[in-house]
Amino acid sequence: MKKVVATERLPIKMWLDDLDDEALAQAKNLANLPFAFKHIPLMPDSHVGYGMPIGSILATEGVVVPNAVGVDIGCGMCAMKTSLQSIEKETLKKTLGEARKLIPLGMNWHDEAQDEALMPEGAESLEIVKKGYSKALKQIGTLGGGNHFIEIQQGSDGFIWIMIHSGSRNLGYGVAKHYNQRALNLNEKWHSTVTRKMDLAFLPIETKEAKDYLAEMSYCVEFALANRKLMMTRMVEALQYVAGEFDCGELINKSHNFAAWENHFGKDVLVHRKGATQAKTGELGMIPGSQGTKSFIVKGLGNPESFMSCSHGAGRKLGRKQAQKTLDLQEEIQKLEKLGVVHGIRNKKDLDEAVGAYKDIGEVMNNQTDLAEIMIELTPLAVLKG
């Protein structure tokens, strides 16, 4: 931990030095919520988000806050080790070409509905999920946009890895927007001190709305995992089509946008993680850098001060529009080509996901040595971006 802000109702415990003013103001809002518990941890990748900083944790007593999970419910990472020990650049290029045929990127969907057996069960009893189910059948196994990616990496363990970052697509977005709006309407009806401007509207746990949200949120977390699993299956197919047969290890999966009941400091509380990864003692997880920097397979250290959490990535240094306006296109391309990474940066609009848009992953990892232990370093070889 780097510092503690003790000016608010609850302390804000920070694992970084360089937090921008807007994100700090959001953290102070969290610390002053009447139902917030113990303290507010900010991970070393923290930056401003919608209502709550990305890379922060909010534990609550008696309420759930939809915006403290966010619109991409269940967004997370999965990684898998292959038995391959090396891979040629031409093979990487051909593999990405095959992957594009199997995995729709960005705003694209499958033309046909996928096998329903791939979907989590129970959608018929969930109001918002049921409405989005037919679209979700065409979106499962699709990457989405923004900072979502598929990456082929060389591990420090001597093996080739595949890593995927994606979420629940439109399904999670629909659930998040619906229940946040319900919370806003109810909070105004109750004349709550949690104002609309704070974007932290809450639902008391005993209400039907809270129970419905938690059920639909859980489904979206499962759908996001199913989405990543299908993409991993098809990514392996693409690589095997080009490189030949190989074996795969077990899938490591971690969500970083969710809420879950946990016991901390002797009390059962609802822990909201928004861009933060659970890191219980011995628990494996992933912390990615940017597409031109290392990622890491880590083992959690179960630090109670972070509610047993660690960062979910490097964290943004520049906003998307700011990156597009200020970063030099050729300079960013040269960074990746100097490293030999097969990438997709072609024009100014791609600069929002350039290396220069992100914090120094080395510094981020150094700031959380008390939260997670590095097990394997992963160097990027080829990247698909949404």
Q: What is the 3-state secondary structure (H, E, C) of the chain?
A: CCEEECCCCCCEEECCCCCCHHHHHHHHHHHCCCCECCCEEEEEEEECCCCCCEEEEEEECCEECHHHCCCCCCCEEEEEEECCCCCCHHHHHHHHHHHHHHCCCCCCCCCCCCCHHHCCCCHHHCHHHHHHHHHHHHHCCCCCCCCCEEEEEEECCCCEEEEEEECCHHHHHHHHHHHHHHHHHHHHHCCCCCCHHHCCCCEECCCHHHHHHHHHHHHHHHHHHHHHHHHHHHHHHHHHHHHCCCCECCCEEEECEEEEEEEECCEEEEEEEECEEECCCCCEEEECCCCCCCEEEEEECCCHHHCCEEECCCCECCCHHHHHHHCCHHHHHHHHHHHCCECCCCCHHHHHHCHHHECCHHHHHHCCCCCEEEEEEEEEEEEEEC
| Catalytic residue annotation | 312
